[in-house]
Amino acid sequence: MNNKPTPGVRFKDNRAEIAVWAPYAKKVAVIINDGTVIDLNTVAYGYWVLTTAALKPGDRYRFKLDDKMALPDPASLSQPNGVHGASMAIDINQFKWTDAAWQNPGLGQYVIYELHAGTFSPAGTFEGIAEKLGYLKQLGITAIEIMPVAQFPGGRNWGYDGVFPYAVQNTYGGAEGLAKLVNICHKQGIAVILDVVYNHFGPEGNYMGIYGPYFTGKYHTPWGDAINFDDAWCDEVRHYFIQNVLMWFRDFHIDALRLDAVHAIKDFSAKHILKEIKENVDELMAQTGRKHHLIIEFDLNDPLFIDPIQKRGYGMDAQWIDEFHHALRVTAGEKRDGYYSDFEGIGHLAKAYNDAYVYDGIYSPGRLKTFGANANDNPGRQFIVFSQNHDHVGNRMLGERSSQLFGFEMQKLMAAAVMVSPFIPMLFMGEEWAESNPFQYFVSHTEPELVEAVRKGRKAEFASFHTDEEAPDPQAIATFERSKLQWDLPAKDGHKQMLSFYQALIRVRKQLPALAILDRKKLKTTVYEAGKILLLHRWYENQSVFCLMNFSDTEHSVNLPENGTYSVVLNSADSEWRGPGRAAEGYIRPQSIIIYTSSNV
């Protein structure tokens, strides 16, 4: 941390402390309620500051640079009229928190539920999420992960087009709505992970470049010029994002952040921005006594990012691991094309259980090079695994979920494969009842040229699929409405049994120490490739758990070690979960899992 101004507007002793970074401006003024105009004072490093009683909570304001057009605050906490409207001043310290007794669990205790605020509930708001927390608690969830809520254009968006990283989307309930949700989650014993985007800004309402060199032409990204983390003036850009991280933890009591696609962050500084973020979070935790986690989405298979700072790593606490997902999906029958082309099915699934990274310094045919590094020294709590998530559902042309791509029995097997892993499990909203609605890509831009560009881009992305189907129109409200969960389904036949199965799975994972304790060293896999059978053995002290998984369409005889007495804890073929019933003793049904316990390790 440092003594530089915190970007935006903060209130202290009934006075507004205003700070904006505009290093090239010769004059900066704040316009309050489209009337009062007050000049700001220039200080070091290109900041302009002002302390005044003229700006009060609830007032609207804009900044005017060099007497040109008035712009919203790049560190605005509220955009009640959208990305092009005036910012609204908020006294973030006025919220009445009641979570002083809350203790954020360690990552190893997380069972994560990823959700999108706009499509999770009928209301599509933070309040709508709060109304379903009892359901999530009963399911066994210990943490929710909310897709990005930074202010974006309109009211429909995945969240990755945000342009105000400090402002909470107005149509979801704004800053106060998010704070209330976090407070209620903590009362229910549920941690909150917030997805944030520090690798790009969205295309509409992005005024950052007018204020200063937030971007650099040194690197090109899929979204244009990269955010400036290592070029001239980068210190203040880094400060902007570090303060954003601290705000979520300190002011909104967020328990963990999931940083989107950090491999797209370009930074060759002596100290990587992620490491600097970690150092600042460590300092905050020392001051407050609260625990916070930093999770990254990351596809470079380099443990440098998750190694502790003491080992010269960047210190990130955990990462999403797509390779487990890819290996699992191919094993379940997904076609080996696109990003699945590098995965060979059950052998790679076993490698994912053992090594976390499938490509850990071996040759990748898809990349035409040796890829990745060994991560054997990183504990299981540093890896988050899943059978589906927003990306791998929504980036399909039609947004099909597993329920549309796999049979009922295979869905249960895939869920169990995630839950018995030595890693942190994550569910994608609705998968636990086999939601049949898709989750499709949607936006609500207001600029016609941009809307058309997005439509064309989406069509071009899937042009090689040679199908009679067309990519859904991302701008159409129907695309958004189709992506909403159907909360009547959990009571219906099939969906009800799937939900019951997920509840049982999570309960078994929590109750058996051999599964609950994420010790990667106490694990062994045995693969019978001819039969597409995988035996996962995990143990803790005197308890052994054997997870026998049959990914084939054929019934097989069971192969367990001979020196043990086994009890069946869960069999996915049981009729209570709408299965075909158990096979004869010594056999396993097609597309099923049997979880055994034994007292002999």
In sequence order, what are the residues at sequence separation of 6 or more whose Cβ sits closer than 8 angstroms to the Cβ of residue 323?
A: 301, 343, 348, 352, 357, 358, 359
371 dihedral zone (left: phi>0; alpha: psi -120 to 50; beta): beta
Torsion over CA of 89, 174, 246 and 165, rounded to 10 degrees? -90
Cα-only R_g, the chain: 25
**Is 297 part of the annotated catalytic residue set?**
yes
Active-site option among 114, 145, 161, 297: 297
What φ, ψ does residue 112 adopt, rounded to 5°?
Answer: -95, 145
Give the length of the chain.
601
DSSP calls for 36-51: EEEE-EE-GGGEEEEE
Distance CA 50, CA 15 (A): 10
In sequence order, what are the residues at sequence separation of 6 or more whose Cβ sits closer than 8 angstroms to the Cβ of residue 285?
A: 291, 292
Q: Judge whether 373 and 303 are in contact, CB under 8 Å.
A: yes
**Is 469 part of the annotated catalytic residue set?**
no
- Report the binding-site residues for substrate: 258-263, 322-326, 390-395
Taking alpha carbons only, the member of 218, 308, 315 closest to residue 276 is 315
Taking alpha carbons only, the member of 141, 154, 25, 30 closest to residue 82 is 154
Distance CA 112, CA 342 (A): 27
Q: Judge whether 155 and 65 are in contact, CB under 8 Å.
A: no
List, in sequence order, every beta strand (DSSP E) within 70-142: 70-71, 87-88, 112-115
Helices (H), 361-419: 390-394, 402-405, 408-419
In sequence order, what are the residues at sequence separation of 6 or more whose Cβ sits closer than 8 angstroms to the Cβ of residue 129?
A: 115, 117, 120, 121, 144, 146, 181
Q: Judge whether 287 and 312 are in contact, CB under 8 Å.
A: no
Q: Judge whether 147 and 159 are in contact, CB under 8 Å.
A: yes
Active-site option among 195, 260, 307, 360: 260
Distance CA 117, CA 154 (A): 14
Distance CA 76, CA 91 (A): 12
Distance CA 402, CA 409 (A): 11
DSSP calls for 215-283: EEEEEEETTEEEE-SSSTTHHHHHHHHHHHHHHHHHHH---EEEETTGGG----SSS-HHHHHHHHHHH
- Report the binding-site residues: 258-263, 322-326, 390-395
Q: Judge whether 441 and 506 are in contact, CB under 8 Å.
A: no
Provide the annotated active-site residues: 260, 297
